[in-house]
Structure 1
Amino acid sequence: MSSGSSDTVAPSPAAGILKVMRLVLPWIGSALLLYWVGRHVDLVQVRQVFRQIPLSTFALLWFPPEALIFVLNVLSFKLLLDWFIKPISFRELWGPVAATYLLGMINPLLGLGGVLVYLNRKKGTAAIDLGGAMLFLAAVDMFFFLILIAIGLFYLDELPQGEVPAAAVRFLSVSTLLGIGFYAYFYLFWIRKFDFGVLGFQRQVKAFAPFTVARLWHYGLYLLVRTVFFLNFFVRQYLVMRYCFQVDFPFGRYFGLVPLANALGALPVSVAGYGSTQVVWLEFFREYVNEPLLVALTLTLNSAYTMNALIIGLIGLAKIAWDVHQAHKGAAI
């Protein structure tokens, strides 16, 4: 007769293989993509570009803004938790968020997942509530990128230097139209509370709770925080491109295509964007900037993002270790 407690189910071999593949495949992807880049680009010229980078200028433009970007990132999570789940102090939150930057070195989505796992396990926050908060974040971020893409499309031909891939223009145009339709529905249904006769049940889905609870000022304030976050991010990259690599993209070219190129380069097919970023940028901008310069630029950006994540992640781990030490010390008294 079986005992009252249920037997533990051992993980299947297939699940273990899948887990290993998820860890290994990005490394293989980076290796193959970088090999392809090395076969099609003169690496001697790439090395010459590296030698000409003004390191002091690069460090001055790159690293100081990272502090503001990090603070705004933590503030974004804090606002979501304060509004829709339960309040948490900035001091308590910044350490775990910083530590997850180490996961973000592999892929940004892993970093976001690390924050969710911490809040779920350490704070007891329900996964469905966290998922709803992340949906709210994604909706606001999509709105910002919609504005950015629309601005880029408007100015795309102001300075028609180089060829803009027709597929990219079509993608941006369709994305803008779909985005306008989505946010028209979003405003009428979620903010103005029009049910359209058939869709009211969506407000009963727990994952959509933040959209029901949020007021217009929530959207406005959060959009402001994320706008400052992303503009600081993109302006810093633009200044590095211009003053360290003498790459002067036209206004529309940069704000219309570079965010898209960054997003495609960050897809989870490589580690930290190495390989995928180079391939995407070569396809998007080879008519405008010579290939060795593009490869050197993107490798430098990849390395800078990785260094940021490493430094911030180690500081976050130290903060968590210190908090644990203080908690044990207090319990021993």
Structure 2
Amino acid sequence: MSEDTRLPMRPDNLAPRDEIPAPRATPFWRKAIPYLGTIVIFALIFWRIPIRKVEQALSQVPVLKFLAVFMPYSLFYCAIDSACLTWVVRRFNARMRYRDILPIRASMYVLALINTSLAQGGVAYYLHRKAGVSFLSALSSVLFIAMLEIYQLFLFSTLGVIFYTPVGDAQVRIVAILRVVYIVAWAMLAGIITFFAIARRSTPIRNWVETGRAGALLATFIQARPLDYLVVLAIKAPTFLASVVAQYYALALYGIAVPFVKLMLFLPLVFLAAALPIAVAHLGTSQAAWLLFFSGNASAAKIVAYSLAAQLTFMLCNALIGMVFLPRASRELTALRAETASTSATV
């Protein structure tokens, strides 16, 4: 995308408010699903593992050492995450600076602890207000990154499948299933890239996509070329490698030895399980995945205790970073609302 085609950052180019879809009331049963899912998963875990053993294992967690491992990783993750968002926004939406995006990206970590979708919407809303781009176009860029974050996990887990030697019948079966799943997943990504490449060259297909109900949400996908996918994966890749290193040393601090290649193979699946929208704050599904893939490396109680301690420590570090930037992000959003109201009053 050429520099002159990007939208300038000026108040008179602000997108109209009606571009933001009106929020719909979420049915009570849908709100209850994550809470029920969390309760059910933990009930199943503690039905098999005595809760007192988990409590005893938790009391042995080196909390300060965990913070010393996960805080640098959280800071590194925030820096790379903001850099990726900056690149995508500049490529597809508007000229924005890293220092403008960092506060809102970091502050949304607080909201992401409760609801990832709300955090994504918050980033898109900020871009809409700050840069004057369409809310749905900004959300399209956020979703583009979210999709490639999933494929980043597939990428490293695929490398793990290639280099890891399964131990035992259970792991052999899991790896065999993963190979099939990954072939399907990469074929789907190839299909997505191919479809939108054809849409860019075919006016009828492009018009059909852009005029459809999800047309605005697909704006970034239509513009994105294969190189753009590779660039985003390359920018995000260091965050996963850093997470493997952080988990590797945190496990060692807790007395659990897991081969590095095994972590690279199965840790992406733990993260994917944690991302499932059936639990609160990613709890429950993550612990179940840790038990499934790493129960052979320590007692079940110790694995559950580690997964809880590591996850809560990482969440705490992200929340602390978010709280540092939250006042600045809040002031900026308030100023943008006031500026918009002033502009509307003078028209």
**Interval of TM-score (by shorter of Structure 1 and Structure 2):** 0.7 to 0.9
Aligned pair partner of 1:238 in 245, 248, 256: 248
Note if 1:295 corresponds to 2:304.
yes
Note if 1:205 corresponds to 2:212.
no
Note if 1:151 corresponds to 2:151.
no
Kindly indicate whether the alpha-carbon contact (under 8 Å) linking 2:126 and 2:333 is maintained by their aligned counterparts in 1.
no
Aligned pair partner of 2:288 in 272, 279, 284: 279
Aligned runs of 1:123-138 on 2, under 5 Å? 123-138=131-146
Counterparts in 2 of 1:126 and 1:63: CA distance versus 1, 3 Å: same
Note if 1:164 corresponds to 2:174.
no
Q: TM-score, normalised by structure 2?
A: 0.75
Distance (Å, rounded) in 1 between the aligned partners of 2:282 and 2:146: 21
Q: Which amino acid aligns with 1:169?
A: V
Distance (Å, rounded) in 2 between the aligned partners of 1:258 and 1:230: 9
Q: State the secondary structure of the residue aligned to 2:317.
A: helix
Note if 1:179 corresponds to 2:185.
yes
Identity between Structure 1 and Structure 2 (%): 22
Distance (Å, rounded) in 2 between the aligned partners of 1:215 and 1:324: 32
Q: Which runs of no fewer than 5 residues in structure 2 stay unpaired?
A: 1-21, 211-216, 343-347
Aligned runs of 1:8-87 on 2, under 5 Å? 16=25, 18=27, 20-87=28-95
Kindly indicate whether the alpha-carbon contact (under 8 Å) linking 1:202 and 1:208 is maintained by their aligned counterparts in 2.
no
Kindly indicate whether the alpha-carbon contact (under 8 Å) linking 2:274 and 2:285 is maintained by their aligned counterparts in 1.
yes
Counterparts in 2 of 1:169 and 1:321: CA distance versus 1, 3 Å: same
Per-residue CA shift, 1:249-298, capped at 9, x if unaligned? Answer: 23443222221122112312111122222223223333443110111011
Q: Which amino acid aligns with 1:62?
A: F
Number of aligned residue pairs: give it. Answer: 310
User: What's the offset of the Cα at 1:214?
Assistant: 4.2
Counterparts in 2 of 1:233 and 1:198: CA distance versus 1, 3 Å: same
Distance (Å, rounded) in 2 between the aligned partners of 1:68 and 1:112: 20
Per-residue CA shift, 1:143-162, capped at 9, x if unaligned? Answer: 4333212211113326x268
Distance (Å, rounded) in 2 between the aligned partners of 1:134 and 1:294: 33
Distance (Å, rounded) in 2 between the aligned partners of 1:322 and 1:194: 43
User: What's the offset of the Cα at 1:183?
Assistant: 4.8
Distance (Å, rounded) in 2 between the aligned partners of 1:221 and 1:164: 33
Q: TM-score, normalised by structure 1?
A: 0.78
Of 104-113 and 133-142, the range deviating more from structure 2: 133-142
Distance (Å, rounded) in 2 between the aligned partners of 1:182 and 1:199: 23
User: What's the offset of the Cα at 1:119?
Assistant: 2.6
Q: Which amino acid aligns with 1:265?
A: A
Q: Which amino acid aligns with 2:209?
A: V
Counterparts in 2 of 1:194 and 1:282: CA distance versus 1, 3 Å: same
For the aligned residue pairs, the C-alpha RMSD in angstroms reads 3.4
Per-residue CA shift, 1:36-64, capped at 9, x if unaligned? Answer: 32232122322332232233322221111
* Aligned residue in 2 for 1:118: 126
Q: Which runs of no fewer than 5 residues in structure 1 stay unpaired?
A: 1-10
Kindly indicate whether the alpha-carbon contact (under 8 Å) linking 2:193 and 2:225 is maintained by their aligned counterparts in 1.
no
